[in-house]
Amino acid sequence: MVATAASHSDIRDYSASEGAFDEAGDEPVIDLVHLARQTDSDQALEMELLEMFERQSGRIASQLVQAGACDGKLCGELAHMLKGSALAIGAGRVARSARAYEAVQAAGSRGGASGAALDELVDAVAEARAAIARLLG
């Protein structure tokens, strides 16, 4: 499957061989079809949303890692914000990981479950940010 992605100067094809899909090869890291629907195919808006998500997701992931055993409510709110942003651009793995981490925080889990959920979220964010960097050139 080849999806069209906007770069700063032109449109180019973005294929699975360039990293558009997750490691299993079954889900796009960033669903460009979903993003195009969300933006009514406005390429400038697509780029703006991807750039904003790249910055915001990196900042939130860093805050969560630095917080460590932070207040569950605060960490849950940060994960919820990240989940909404991920859903808006079609970053499915980030959205699912953020939802899982948010649930762990809401349940008051600490230690292993919280750490594993945070690791998964941080990995998903890193994967999405790398895909965005490739998309935007």
pLDDT tens figures, 79-116: 999 999 999 999 999 999 999 999 998 887 777 778 89
Site of tokens 């992605």: 5
**CA angle, 117 then 73 then 38, to 5°:** 70
Q: What's the CATH number where 89 sits?
A: 1.20.120.160
Is pLDDT of 16 > 60? no
- The model's confidence at residue 6, banded by pLDDT at 50, 70 and 90, is very low
How far is it, in rounded angstroms, from Cα 103 to Cα 79?
9
State residue 50's pLDDT score.
97
State residue 71's pLDDT score.
73
- The model's confidence at residue 73, banded by pLDDT at 50, 70 and 90, is confident
State residue 82's pLDDT score.
97
How far is it, in rounded angstroms, from Cα 135 to Cα 47?
9
Percentage above 90 pLDDT, the chain: 63
Counting the structural domains of the chain, the total is 1
Mean pLDDT, the chain, rounded, equals 82
Is pLDDT of 65 > 70? yes
How far is it, in rounded angstroms, from Cα 49 to Cα 118?
24
- Per the structure, the complete domain to which residue 92 belongs is given by 2-136
